[in-house]
Chain A
Amino acid sequence: QSALTQPASVSGSPGQSITISCTGTSSDVGGYNYVSWYQHHPGKAPKLVIYEVSNRPSGVSNRFSGSKSGNTASLTIFGLQAEDEADYYCSSYTSSSTYYVFGTGTKVTVL
């Protein structure tokens, strides 16, 4: 089971919107609505920001939005803020013996 594919980096100016893609297969992203996204600031614990493709946990800003089309899931951050600068990882259930897989990670830079 290979990691889900994400772009290595995405950048945007404050106030802009950015979208991070997460591409898998029909055995993971495309086959199940169990895609989640994590925000990871270096040196801190990862934080869940989206689960089940498009749901936000309590306390997570509504500037974070998730969606999915086919084998590709996406995380959009609206109104980019300096505090959003972090690494972002998608993840998914997989029907393979691995059970669960992370994406390769995307570094978001706020210009």
Chain B
Amino acid sequence: EVQLVQSGAEVKKPGESLKISCKGSGYSFNNYWIAWVRQMPGKGLEWMGIIYPGDSDTTYSPSFQGQVTISADKSVSTAYLQWSSLKASDTAMYYCARHRKEKIINDYWGQGTLVTVSS
């Protein structure tokens, strides 16, 4: 069974750093892209970017380029999303998903990680 399990909710202060994770199982993690998607409170889904764990090839949405870093460690079948200096506007639910480029779809999703940034 394909599963993506994300790390737990985080509460941080502005300016702090953060790295959240997404662990894949039940499939060949190295051979499928992982996408990250943001949902701000009361808002819609936003595409952040994708990474290919096999070679760490990464594409960012221009809206998120330079704002976050997407990475992966194929040895532990885990993808990451990190911030070096959080802002209150980073408060959101973040989802990872397995992305299939040949069909341009996100077929399996993680349960989401809620990030709250507040002073």
Residues of chain A whose beta carbon lies under 8 Å from any beta carbon of chain B? 1, 3, 32, 34, 36, 38, 40, 44-48, 51-52, 57, 87, 89, 91-93, 97-105
> Would you call A103 and B44 a contact (CB within 8 A)?
yes
> Would you call A46 and B45 a contact (CB within 8 A)?
yes
Residue B104 at the chain A interface, CB threshold 8 Å: yes
| A52 touching B103 in the complex, CB below 8 Å, given contacts A3-B44, A40-B45 | yes
Q: Which residue of A lies closest to B64 (CB)?
A: A98
Residue B47 at the chain A interface, CB threshold 8 Å: yes
Interface residues on B, range: 20 to 34
Q: Which residue of A lies closest to B96 (CB)?
A: A45
Main secondary structure of the interface of B (DSSP, over half): strand
Residues on B with C-beta less than 8 A from A52 are 103-105
> Would you call B104 and A101 a contact (CB within 8 A)?
no
Q: Which residue of B lies closest to A36 (CB)?
A: B105
Partner of B107, one of A44, A48, A105: A48
Partner of B61, one of A45, A57, A89, A99: A99
Shortest A54–chain B CB gap in Å is: 13
How far is A51 from B104 in the complex, measured between Cα atoms in Å? Answer: 8
Partner of A57, one of B45, B63, B107: B107
How far is A47 from B45 in the complex, measured between Cα atoms in Å? Answer: 13
> Would you call B44 and A45 a contact (CB within 8 A)?
no
Residues on B with C-beta less than 8 A from A101 are 47
> Would you call A51 and B45 a contact (CB within 8 A)?
no
Residues on A with C-beta less than 8 A from B62 are 1, 97-98
Residue B56 at the chain A interface, CB threshold 8 Å: no
> Would you call B59 and A102 a contact (CB within 8 A)?
no
> Would you call A46 and B44 a contact (CB within 8 A)?
no
| A48 touching B44 in the complex, CB below 8 Å, given contacts A1-B62, A98-B62, A99-B61 | no
The contact string, 1 if C-beta is below 8 Å from chain A, for chain B 85-111, is 000000000010100000111110111
